[in-house]
Amino acid sequence: MYKIFDTVDDVSHYTAQRLIAKITAKPTAILGLATGSTMKPVYAKLLEHMQQTPLNVSQLTTFNLDEYMGLAPQHPQSYNYFMYEHLFNQLNIPAQQIHLPDGLTSDIEAVCSAYSNAIQALGGLDLQLLGIGTNGHIGFNEPNTCFSSRTHVVELSEQTRIDNGRFFTEQSEMPTHAITMGILDILEANEIILVATGHNKTDIMAQLFDSEIDEALPASALKKHKNLTIVLDREAAALLPEQALKNAI
């Protein structure tokens, strides 16, 4: 299902409301969370709403999608830092219920399998929030990642290093590898919301709309999912065919 809104503000409001609805219906929900500039206004809306209407988040458990290899949690570009800055510092979710892959581990295999196992042991993700890379990656599952993948280490593609390198002082500081939840971990979530905004997502959203389910385009795996909402602003939706726009609510 597509939801298309005029502005980023509307997109973020809608997405935050979906999170709030989930947390209200199930205070013990297991949430899969994402980073990226698309998520900043979503988390800001969620926090804004919670100032008006308090929400009990103390029983939530969260699993983030991914983390750069080699960055400590205190590094301003680490996803750990991002999540605390934009969300967790303002919420009273107990620290032991917050999970991000450990980008500093020397035991990659153990950390990866423990991450996927922990999600499954809790009964799976109730809701997974996703952004999308300009090359169609979800989490850091780059093109041609196996759709049956679990949490694993990836070598970041050239495109991703260019896209995300802009956030680092020097392009050369941008990590070459990351740990990401696998495509299968993501697909096993009960509900998935993919959010994309702005003109740099226009092309990939048109490609995704047209694509078959194909490992060359990681986000196309989501077409298998029974409860997927794709939330776009007008810019990201600009090249979608008329028919998609008509069906979108």
Give the binding site for ligand GLP (CB under 6 A): 34-38, 65-66, 131-133, 139-140, 160, 164
Instruction: Supply the minimum distance, in Å, between the C-beta of residue 73 and ligand GLP.
Output: 16
Residue 68 CB, nearest approach to ligand GLP (Å):
9
| Residue 66 annotated to the active site | yes
Given 135, 152, 185, 188, the catalytic residue: 135
- Per the listing, tokens 């802009």 go with 166
Taking the complex as a whole, the smallest distance from the CB of residue 167 to ligand GLP amounts, in Å, to: 9
Q: Which is nearer to ligand GLP, 163 or 191 (CB)?
A: 163
Edge to edge, the sheet with strand 191-196 lists 2-5, 228-233, 191-196, 127-130, 30-33, 61-64, 98-99
Q: Is 99 tagged catalytic?
A: no
Backbone angles phi and psi of 235, in degrees to 5: -65, -50
Catalytic choice (64, 66, 86, 185): 66
Shortest gap between Cβ of 133 and ligand GLP (angstroms)? 5
Residue 49 catalytic?
no
Q: Cα angle at 197 between 196 and 199, to 5 degrees?
A: 120
CB 26 within 8 A of CB 61: no
- Which CB atom, from 131 or from 175, has the smaller least distance to ligand GLP? 131
Nearer Cβ to ligand GLP (33/240): 33
Catalytic one among 67, 126, 142, 233?
A: 142
Rounded CA-CA distance 235/88 in Å is 30
Closer to ligand GLP at the Cβ: 133 or 175? 133
135 given a catalytic annotation: yes
Q: How far is CA 203 from CA 84, 124, 131, 210, 229, in A?
A: 31, 32, 15, 11, 19
Please say whether the beta carbons of 218 and 204 come within 8 A.
no
Q: Which residues participate in catalysis according to the annotation?
A: 66, 135, 137, 142
